[in-house]
Amino acid sequence: MSRYVYDFFEGNKDLKDLLGGKGANLAEMTRMGLPVPPGFTITTDACREFLRTGAMPAGLFDEVEEHLRLVQTRLGKRLGDPADPLLLSVRSGGKFSMPGMMETILDIGLNDATVLGLAGHSGDERFAWDSYRRLIQMFGKTVFGVPGEEFEAELAAARAAADAATDAGLGAPALRDLVAAYKKVFAAHTGRDFPQSPHEQLFSAIGAVFGSWNAERAVLYRRQERIPQDLGTAVNVMAMVFGNRGLHSGSGVAFTRDPATGRRGAYGDYLPNAQGEDVVAGIRNTMVLAELAEIDPKSHAQLLSIMQKLEQRYRDLCDIEFTIEDGTLWMLQTRVGKRTPAAAFVIAAQLAEEGLITLDEALQRVTGEQLANLMFPSFDTAAAPQPLTTGVPASPGAAVGAIVFDSAAAAAATGPVILVRRETNPDDLPGMIAAQGILTSRGGKTSHAAVVARGMGKTCVCGADELEIDAAAGTLTIAGRVMHAGDVVSIDGASGHVYAGPVPVRPSSVVRYFEGELSPLGDPLLAAVQRLMTHADHVARLGVHANADTGADARRAHRFGATGIGLCRTEHMFLGDRRELVERLILATTDAEREAALAALLPLQRDDFVDLFAAMDGRPVTVRLIDPPLHEFLPPLDELTARVSRAEALGQDPGDDVRLLAAVRRMHEQNPMLGLRGVRLGLVVPGLFAMQVRAVAEAAAARLAAGGDPRPEIMVPLVGAVQELEIVRTEAVRVLAEVPGAPPIPIGTMIEVPRAALTAHQIAMSADFFSFGTNDLTQMTWGFSRDDVEGAFFGRYLDLGVFGASPFETLDRLGVGELVRIAVERGRAARPGLPTGVCGEHGGDPASIRFFHEAGLTYVSCSPFRVPVARLEAGRAAT
């Protein structure tokens, strides 16, 4: 027979799967000899069995009774003893913390007889009746689903009758009457009397806690937090201790360090003469921990010493719940505490410095996402008012703007706006693009609004369900406060807070540090970032390059720690007033015309490269030859058609427009993504690639002559067959030989067509390096266009769980990742030591970086802003 119940002294902190987080940690504290009220944990196995069959597993009753006897013996008290009853709490606690999502029932064991015993033994009649009425209320709601409002109504009536402003004003007689009224409410709703048997109360409560695993809000929370739905919860049954027994009693919560900043030293709140839940509910003003030292120095000192022991044991920030009953301290809960991104960095660096953890471990205590969060501008919270409400922090940043309720208003607005919607759909895309930020009342981290906003790098708070949006009336109501279109709100994508009015925004100090504007000296956060980044760089095996097309971007990338440029997109050099030269190239009908157009482009490209090579002196700069279809450089068909017909109607000479129009018609493609682009252009348009190669070589020669150390590399896009690459390579080698004073320049290829990955052993014969273009590789492997999917069906796909994250955000390991692995393996088999990089968006995504590390790539390349994130993740992947 399987075993379902463990006493606290039998478990330990590593048994979270079986005992849940709360149970495992209560066991650990018990083992450490800390004062934990006696109790036991019913395993998650029992819960899963209960959820599967709908009935308590066989043998569970007996096991519970047996462990209950142990508790009774140790305390010398008995459940249901009318003279001096033992009371119990029944608490949920799964493997992962789900704050406030599931149920806890306190004061189990009170009935019409024991309430008198409790009153007599404690000498506090009011306390006994108040506990009893709380039990009926909690039990009625949780176990029998009695609507909470009905109890609240009786409570309000009692207060009115007693002329009391708060519950504290109700005396023992009033509370006794309230118990009678509560029992009537209970009976009216359940058709039975409130159970007088403490054992029945206990088992019903256990069943209700099991059942609360599947409560709607719990299911929703797990979906949002990506917690598996099939884990089940454990149930902790423990002796009650009372913080509400007068002024030598009280309850508190504490952290071993400040969870907001990471500052050293215990940090917490204490409420005298109160039960634990009153502290969190904020119904009375709490005192800070230091004040406890004045009213109860002994408990305070004991608490501090316990917190120190907990940190030593867990080697991390811990948070705790404690209660003092008549001068005796009891520990009710601990766990490794949640913290802000800033605190995560500070604490990790501190713990390493204190020798509690190694630097490798410190790297595991922070994430690239946290660093990315710290690199967004934030609100100056000291200057912020109370938030109006808090939603799901879906995409970071700090956005301030006027309320608009639809896309049209957002697009028409002249100043910054916040798009406020119940939820968003693809029709809202233009509004989302125009807005500073997006605020919705429905949906979680995978809702349309959240996914699209993250993709665009826009601030988003979603699922703020206190918002009442009446788009027709143009009003937004939050907790009774009505706002109108045009009123300013501020939304914080890191915390989910929503504020009325503008809140001052301050630039990220971490970014200013990377930029060299702030010194880490005397700033704990910056010092921590510096320490951990240095270690990450030290242990990383994967290099980090940046995608940059201009000297300015390259310089920033360099300051952010990039050790090269993994992708310079040359087509960006063909925009603006150079468009006209590209038009001339396309319209050329003779060799002479074409050569003249190319000759005009050459010096412009060369100067761009000189600037870039100077910015990245001594480090590789990978120049990709032109990739997009040439018609992207021509005016759109409808615009040209209109221009030509307007000129004809006015009897004017349309000039080149007629030829341009013909060219646009000729070059039109049904599916440009799979059309004449990349290497195909190089093979079809004579002289185009040769001009670019010459510009690279001449720029390098000029830098060399000027005493620089240029390290260009030439990269050919969209290759699917080695033959394509061989042709381009032969021509490039010829051009390079014609440029005097040029350094040796490696010629490599992108791997972004699935066929290239599969034939990598052949392609490697002609390539000095590979660089995975994972955007194209993803869209060609899945067969969906990345420009169209986000709005069209990704939201639905995410809801349906086809994938957990967009494959354009996080690399699809199983499919696209397999192609990467195949290409690395086959490429290196043909050419040992072949350098391999990644230059798609995935190069800056933490989960993808881990994969690239595992696949043995040489480097990732990402946007300059993501470089620090990639460095950190490269280090984390290696430890």
Residues in the annotated binding site for Mg(2+): 752, 776
Record the tokens describing residue 458, joined without a space. 């826009």
Query: 499 or 770, CB closer to Mg ion?
Result: 770
- Min CB(310)–ligand ADP separation in Å: 16
Give one DSSP letter per residue of 30-53, joined into a string: HHTT-----EEEE-HHHHHHHHHH
- Min CB(332)–Mg ion separation in Å: 7
Q: Rounded to the nearest 5°, which phi and psi values hold at 435?
A: -80, 155
Contact between 608 and Mg ion by CB under 5 A: the answer reads no
- What CA–CA distance (Å, rounded) separates 53 from 13? 29
Q: Taking CB under 5 A as the criterion, which residues in 240-259 touch Mg ion?
A: none
Contact between 142 and ligand ADP by CB under 6 A: the answer reads no
Asked if 550 contacts 612 with a C-beta cutoff of 8 angstroms, the reply is yes
Q: From 716, 720, 805, select the one nearest 768 (Cα to Cα).
A: 716
Count of other CB atoms within 10 angstroms of residue 91:
26
Partner residues linked to 545 by β-bridges: 861
- What CA–CA distance (Å, rounded) separates 271 from 295? 11
Part in contact with ligand ADP (CB under 6 A); list of ranges 157-165, 232-240, 401-409, 719-727: 232-240
Please tell me which residue in 67, 300, 318, 448 is annotated as part of the active site. 448
Q: Binding partner of residue 117 among Mg ion, ligand ADP, none, CB under 5 to 8 Å per kind?
A: none
Q: Verify whether residue 189 is a known catalytic residue.
A: no
Q: Binding partner of residue 37 among Mg ion, ligand ADP, none, CB under 5 to 8 Å per kind?
A: ligand ADP
User: Residue with CB nearest ligand ADP?
Assistant: 276
Which segments are annotated as binding site? 569, 624, 752, 773-776
**Strand, coil or helix: 267:** strand
Q: Binding partner of residue 100 among Mg ion, ligand ADP, none, CB under 5 to 8 Å per kind?
A: ligand ADP
- What CA–CA distance (Å, rounded) separates 246 from 647? 92
Asked if 32 contacts 309 with a C-beta cutoff of 8 angstroms, the reply is yes
Cα–chain center distance at 344:
14
**Number of residues binding to ligand ADP, judged by CB under 6 A:** 19
Q: Binding partner of residue 561 among Mg ion, ligand ADP, none, CB under 5 to 8 Å per kind?
A: none
- Min CB(248)–ligand ADP separation in Å: 16
Strands (E), 153-258: 233-239, 250-257
Contact between 319 and Mg ion by CB under 5 A: the answer reads no
Partner residues linked to 322 by β-bridges: 252, 331
Please tell me which residue in 839, 842, 853, 862 is annotated as part of the active site. 839
Q: Binding partner of residue 250 among ligand ADP, Mg ion, none, CB under 5 to 8 Å per kind?
A: none
Q: Binding partner of residue 277 among ligand ADP, Mg ion, none, CB under 5 to 8 Å per kind?
A: ligand ADP
Here's the x/- map for ligand ADP, 250-289, by CB under 6 A: it reads as: -x-----------------------xxx------------
- Min CB(259)–ligand ADP separation in Å: 16
- What CA–CA distance (Å, rounded) separates 389 from 483? 13
Query: 10 or 277, CB closer to ligand ADP?
Result: 277
The torsion region of residue 687 among left (phi > 0), alpha (psi -120 to 50) and beta comes to left
Query: 238 or 690, CB closer to ligand ADP?
Result: 238
Contact between 38 and ligand ADP by CB under 6 A: the answer reads no
- Min CB(631)–Mg ion separation in Å: 17
Part in contact with ligand ADP (CB under 6 A); list of ranges 116-124, 235-243, 584-592, 779-787: 235-243
Amino acid sitting at position 743: P
The binder of ligand ADP chosen from 20, 37, 493, 868 (CB under 6 A) = 37
Q: Verify whether residue 300 is a known catalytic residue.
A: no
Q: Rounded to the nearest 5°, which phi and psi values hold at 33?
A: 80, 15
Here's the x/- map for ligand ADP, 311-330, by CB under 6 A: it reads as: ----------x-x-------
Q: Taking CB under 5 A as the criterion, which residues in 710-769 touch Mg ion?
A: 752
C-alpha distances in Å from residue 825, one per residue of 46, 515, 540, 588: 47, 38, 21, 44
Partner residues linked to 624 by β-bridges: 569, 715
Q: Binding partner of residue 776 among Mg ion, ligand ADP, none, CB under 5 to 8 Å per kind?
A: Mg ion
Asked if 708 contacts 617 with a C-beta cutoff of 8 angstroms, the reply is yes
Q: From 846, 783, 861, 853, select the one nearest 820 (Cα to Cα).
A: 853
The binder of ligand ADP chosen from 29, 106, 598, 614 (CB under 6 A) = 106
SS3 sequence of 512-566: HHHCCCCCCCCCHHHHHHHHHHHHHHHHCCCEEEEECCCHHHHHHHHHCCCCCEE
Part in contact with ligand ADP (CB under 6 A); list of ranges 5-13, 116-124, 238-246, 345-353: 238-246
Tell me whether strands 836-838 and 747-751 are parallel, antiparallel or unpaired: unpaired
Q: Taking CB under 5 A as the criterion, which residues in 761-800 touch Mg ion?
A: 773, 776
Record the tokens describing residue 20, joined without a space. 């849940």
Partner residues linked to 469 by β-bridges: 476
- What CA–CA distance (Å, rounded) separates 607 from 595? 19
The binder of ligand ADP chosen from 19, 181, 240, 728 (CB under 6 A) = 240
- Min CB(217)–Mg ion separation in Å: 17
What residue ranges bind ligand ADP (CB under 6 A)?
37, 89, 91, 99-100, 104, 106, 238-241, 251, 275-277, 321, 323, 332-333
Binding site for Mg ion (CB under 5 A): 333, 752, 773, 776
Q: Which are the catalytic amino acids?
A: 448, 839
